[in-house]
């Protein structure tokens, strides 16, 4: 692939060596040549300690420090190389520090970075046309983070519902799915089934109803009962945080039909599933449906800066007028230039096709690993390089998905658990088959060599809550635990 060549030229083997962990030998390879002036000379442990001391404890990271990255490879400050199997939750679909995206960033950064939308700039209109052409919508409303994109879509749906659908003032309802994840703002967590995300943050916003994901009969029931007050149905075409949950075939088509029948906006949150992640440009393309509103984020900024966007046609988008919604940084020229390059890379490097192809290989290999370790792996899910392994928590207990990810890290592979039992595998779409194989070998080794040892040594969780089912505060359903 063309863009890997500079890596070989620019990077020399700085400190090649080997390390032995638990009886297996791993190569410490290809330390980036020299360190940039800004790179830290602190050790990983110092940096982790410092973050713990000075930063809010709102994450529980795998203890590895990113210092440099290229494509699917990451180096820590000590020069250890890792393969990225998370891609910053699919924000790095194009691979880390893609040269074409970096060039766009640098060139634009030297010219103009911010105008605010109090004025025009010479990049945003180009980005707006490029994005709307690529996805076939009339207009875009630019924002920055994914959560802001979702907030924008919710406001747009409410505004449309009062103006066009004539829902009585302040009575608009948004329907969302159990197990959904759309971000962390107050309006967005008001739809969440994740108790950790909602407890202690009330009062949550009213005007939301929940429905089981993948259940079109339940959706129709809600539409029948309350359709005259429902503004929009917000959903992820593949649920990411819930553990890469793929709906039954035909679901997306049914959603389209029901939304049309009951005059409800179909709002697809493609922030994680879109931009080639699932093997198509949008995950909705798997059933060739066209939502009324599409939300994009993450990889739209090429893993460089936050860029999100809401796409819709004029009859919906023009319900928002000057002064009614906005963002100082939304549509800024730097973000626009980066986003144009990010879209170009997705198109020119055929990342959707690559995701489909490499994803097939990943799934086949994971299914083989499942056959080899049927007691450990309950299910393998995936579409393109949007995949997950569901562990059999009963057989693995007390070992968790987090423990497995720690072992993967020690073998040079970075993945993150979602909930207690699921490991999401979502490498950059540019990952080579050799890199994929390296990651799969590490996964096999963890199950074969590390897991038996862990099961012997890890103390059992005997806390009174350990075996209690976790039920959603909002809808009372059992959550994620088997
Ligand atoms: C489907 C989906 N929507 C929204 C978000 C929120 O995006 P951000 O973290 O950029 O606010 C995420 C983040 O993981 C997501 O996966």
181 flagged as catalytic: yes
Residue nearest (by alpha carbon) to ligand 1 atom 13 = 183
Contact at 8 Å (CB) between 258 and 220? yes
298 flagged as catalytic: yes
Bridge partner list, 143:
308
Kindly give, in sequence order, each residue whose CB lies less than 8 Å from that of residue 151, ignoring residues fewer than 6 positions away.
143, 183, 185, 187, 188
Whole-angstrom Cα distance, residue 192 to residue 197? 7
Q: What is the DSSP letter of 51?
A: H
314 flagged as catalytic: no
* pLDDT score recorded for residue 38: 43
Task: List the pLDDT tens digit at each of the 482 positions of the chain.
Answer: 333 333 333 332 333 333 333 344 444 444 433 344 345 579 999 999 999 999 999 999 999 999 999 999 999 999 999 999 999 999 999 999 999 999 999 999 999 999 999 999 999 999 999 999 999 999 999 999 999 999 999 999 999 999 999 999 999 999 999 999 999 999 999 999 888 899 999 999 999 999 999 999 999 999 999 999 999 999 999 999 999 999 999 999 999 999 999 999 999 999 999 999 999 999 999 999 999 999 999 999 999 999 999 999 999 999 999 999 999 999 999 999 999 999 999 999 999 999 999 999 999 999 999 999 999 999 999 999 999 999 998 999 899 999 999 999 999 999 999 888 999 999 999 999 999 999 999 999 999 999 999 999 988 776 655 556 678 777 777 665 44
* pLDDT score recorded for residue 40: 58
Q: Please name the residue ranges forming H helices in 192-332.
A: 195-198, 216-226, 251-261, 314-317
* pLDDT score recorded for residue 367: 98
Q: What is the DSSP letter of 469?
A: P
Is the minimum distance from the CB of 143 to ligand 1 under 6 angstroms?
A: no
Residue nearest (by alpha carbon) to ligand 1 atom 4 = 182
Catalytic residue among 76, 84, 194, 269: 269
For residue 166, is it left (φ>0), alpha (ψ between -120 and 50) or beta? left
* pLDDT score recorded for residue 472: 79
**How many CB atoms are closer than 10 A to CB 276?**
29
- What is the 96 CA–ligand 1 centroid distance (Å)? 19
* pLDDT score recorded for residue 460: 79
Domain 13-97+351-457: CATH class, spelled out = alpha beta
Domain residue extents for the chain: 13-97+351-457, 99-348
Distances (CA, A) of 419 to 300, 391, 422, 478: 26, 11, 6, 13
Kindly give, in sequence order, each residue whose CB lies less than 8 Å from that of residue 16, ignoring residues fewer than 6 positions away.
27, 28, 29, 30, 31
Is the minimum distance from the CB of 359 to ligand 1 under 6 angstroms?
A: no
* pLDDT score recorded for residue 15: 32
Is the minimum distance from the CB of 179 to ligand 1 under 6 angstroms?
A: no
CATH number of 99-348, picked from 1.10.443.10, 1.10.30.50, 3.40.640.10, 1.10.520.10: 3.40.640.10
Helices 333-348, 351-372: inter-axial angle, 10-degree rounding: 70
CA-based radius of gyration for the chain: 23
Residue nearest (by alpha carbon) to ligand 1 atom 2 = 182
């Amino acid at each position: 692939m063309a863009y890997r060549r500079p890596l070989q030229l620019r990077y020399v083997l700085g400190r090649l060596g080997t390390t032995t962990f638990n009886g297996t030998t791993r190569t410490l390879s290809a330390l980036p040549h020299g360190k940039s002036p800004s790179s830290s000379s602190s050790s990983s442990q110092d940096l982790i300690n410092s973050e713990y001391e000075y930063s809010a404890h709102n994450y529980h990271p795998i203890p590895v420090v990113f210092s440099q990255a290229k494509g699917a490879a990451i180096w820590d400050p000590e020069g250890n190389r890792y393969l990225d199997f998370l891609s910053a939750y699919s924000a790095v679909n194009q691979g880390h520090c893609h040269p074409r995206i970096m060039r766009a960033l640098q060139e634009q950064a030297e010219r103009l970075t911010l105008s605010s939308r109090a004025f025009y700039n010479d990049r945003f209109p180009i980005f707006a046309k490029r994005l709307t052409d690529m996805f076939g919508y009339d207009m875009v409303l630019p924002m920055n983070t994914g959560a802001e994109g979702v907030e924008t879509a919710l406001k747009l749906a409410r505004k449309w519902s009062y103006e066009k659908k004539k829902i009585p003032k302040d009575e608009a309802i948004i329907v969302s799915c159990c197990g959904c994840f759309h971000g962390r703002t107050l309006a967005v967590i008001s739809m969440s089934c994740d108790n950790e995300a909602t407890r202690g943050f009330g009062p949550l916003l009213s005007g939301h109803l929940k429905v089981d994901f993948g259940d079109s009969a339940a959706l129709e029931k809600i539409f029948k009962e309350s359709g005259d007050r429902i503004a929009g149905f917000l959903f992820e075409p593949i649920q990411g945080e819930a553990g890469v949950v793929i709906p039954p075939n035909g679901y997306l088509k049914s959603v389209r039909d029901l939304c049309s029948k009951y005059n409800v906006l179909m709002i697809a949150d493609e922030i994680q599933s879109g931009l080639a992640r699932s093997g198509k440009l949008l995950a909705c393309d798997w059933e060739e449906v066209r939502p009324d509103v599409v939300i994009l984020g993450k990889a739209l900024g090429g893993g460089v800066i936050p860029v999100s966007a809401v796409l819709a046609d004029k009859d919906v988008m023009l319900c928002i007028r000057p002064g009614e919604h906005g963002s100082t940084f939304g549509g800024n020229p730097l973000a626009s230039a980066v986003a144009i390059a990010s879209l170009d890379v997705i198109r020119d490097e055929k990342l959707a096709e690559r995701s489909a192809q490499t994803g097939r290989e990943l799934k086949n290999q994971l299914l083989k690993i499942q056959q080899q370790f049927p007691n450990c792996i309950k299910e393998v899910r995936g579409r393109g390089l949007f995949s997950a392994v569901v562990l059999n928590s009963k057989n693995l207990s007390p070992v968790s998905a987090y423990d497995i990810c720690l072992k993967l890290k020690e073998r040079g592979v970075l993945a993150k658990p979602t909930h207690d039992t699921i490991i999401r595998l979502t490498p950059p779409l540019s990952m080579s088959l050799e890199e994929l194989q390296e990651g799969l070998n590490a996964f096999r080794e963890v199950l074969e060599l590390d897991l038996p040892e862990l099961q012997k040594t890890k103390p059992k969780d005997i806390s009174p809550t350990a075996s209690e089912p976790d039920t959603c505060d909002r809808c009372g359903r059992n959550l994620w635990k088997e």
